Amino acid sequence: MIFKDKVILVTGGTGSFGQKFAEIILREHSPAAVRIYSRGELLQLQMQQKFNNDERLRFLIGDVRDKDRLARAMNRVDIVVHAAALKQVPTSEYNPIEAVKTNINGAANVIDAAIDNNVAKIMNISTDKAVQPVNLYGGTKLVAEKLFIHGNAYVGMRKIDFSCVRYGNVVGSRGSVVPVFLEQKKKDKITITDERMTRFWLTLEQGVRFAIDCLKRMRGGEIFVPKIPSMKIAKLAEAIAPKAKREIIGIRPGEKLHEILISQEEAKHSREYADYYLVEPEHQFWAKKKIAGGKPLPDDFKYTSDNNTRWVTADDLKKMIKAL
């Protein structure tokens, strides 16, 4: 019952994650208020209407680049979920400084504002692209992860905890290839970058519920990684449009053939639990916070989308898409 009667702030709260998070938290956990912090007034209005003007839902126009506004928004907040980011890989490549300002400087501002306001729990939503990044977006998310983990060393004796959730592609979210394939299906032609390419997949609800569960169990300093299935992009295209013509267009700049959720180096300080992995920080502050249980990973372990033991079937995918 850690959410009951608590004030929760979600940065980037009008995005797909923020809206699903608000829906589940308001329906199942009885918070005092959920503050939606974002830049778009139209999206806030649409979200307000979607939630039938629920009086527990509060809307604040603001940018994570604005530290003063964040400080005001976090006044008397108990929990922060940091989901704001520039997420499109091509956009970040073309506008690198803007990606740094939002994804790195914005993360630092969230951390500072949370500490100054004595927020108890702060969770950063990260991505598989932060592991051994090959593009700027992934690089900025890697830095953001490091900032959040090290934030635990800045809180002193205060009871403030920073952690991260890291997962793969969300079916149907903005930037997902699924809506692209569904649109291309109408023209009976699917473009595939590489037949061998694999990705981790989960639904939006699975991602949000995992983050909620991690907020309950977090001690501060961990990176939580869910056990989720993989699927070949070619199989994804076949499941969505089996009769469509395929065109191979080649891997785009800044794109990996396979994604990584835990690197071999991280596995040395990670533990396995029933439905998730936990990457432990290599810092002294963690010694007093360890989560009980779990088992060490083998020395040669790495969690990549091509060496996964779980795979999405065509039927699984159709159920995921139907739930959108």
Show pLDDT as tens, one digit a residue, over the chain (324 residues): 899 999 999 999 999 999 999 999 999 999 999 999 999 999 999 999 999 999 999 999 999 999 999 999 999 999 999 999 999 898 999 999 999 999 999 999 999 999 999 999 999 999 999 999 999 999 999 999 999 999 999 998 899 999 999 999 998 776 678 888 989 999 999 999 999 999 999 999 999 999 999 999 999 999 999 999 999 999 999 989 889 999 999 988 888 999 999 999 999 999 999 999 999 998 877 776 778 889 999 989 999 999 999 999 988 888 887 776
**Residues whose CB is less than 8 angstroms from the CB of residue 116 and which lie 6 or more positions away in sequence, other chains included:** 71, 74
- Active site members: 129
What pLDDT score was predicted for residue 36? 98
Give the start-to-end residue ranges of the domains of the chain.
7-170+201-227+260-302
SS3 195: coil
Q: Report residue 40 as tokens.
A: 């778009």
What pLDDT score was predicted for residue 254? 84
Q: What is the CATH number of domain 7-170+201-227+260-302?
A: 3.40.50.720
Judge whether 35 and 73 are in contact, CB under 8 Å.
Answer: yes
Q: Report residue 8 as tokens.
A: 């929760």
- Per-residue exposure over 259-298, b if at least 16 CB sit within 10 Å of its own CB, e if not: bbbbbbebbeebbbeeebbbbbbeeeebeeeeeeebeebe
What pLDDT score was predicted for residue 315? 87
